[in-house]
Amino acid sequence: MTSTHRIASVLLATVGTLILAGCGGPNLMDRFGGFWGAGICGIIIVILDVIALLEIAGTNWTLGRKALWAVLIFVFPVGGLLLYWFFVRESGS
């Protein structure tokens, strides 16, 4: 991945995070609490977060690395998901 492509991905992820999450948005547990009232964006975020968490659980990483990514996605549902999707899942490391 070239540095220009990486910078564009980071900018896109940042803008997407700000648009979808807003300032001080709910964490993943809050989204589960009001699942049907969350709207289509909230439901999509929950589904993608669950998919990412299942992928993380299925890796052969150390327990610490799995826990770190799981907590990151749990606390920051959109930002953590985007970081995982663009930087970890894509590289396969």
User: What does the pLDDT look like over 3-59, one tens digit per residue?
Assistant: 676 666 656 655 565 555 544 456 555 655 555 555 677 777 888 888 888 888 888
Mean pLDDT to the nearest integer, 75-91: 84
- Quick one: pLDDT at residue 38? 55
Mean pLDDT to the nearest integer, 73-82: 87
Q: Spell out the domain ranges in the chain.
A: 3-89
Contacts of 75 (CB under 8 A, 6+ apart): 27, 28
Mean pLDDT to the nearest integer, 84-89: 85
Instruction: State the Cα–Cα distance between residues 84 and 74, nearest whole angstrom.
Output: 12
Higher pLDDT among residues 64 and 24, named by residue: 64
- Quick one: pLDDT at residue 17? 56
Contact 18, 52 (CB under 8 A): no
- Quick one: pLDDT at residue 68? 92
Q: How far is CA 66 from CA 2, 15, 71, 80, 90, in A?
A: 27, 26, 9, 13, 16
Distance spanning both ends of the chain, measured CA to CA? 14
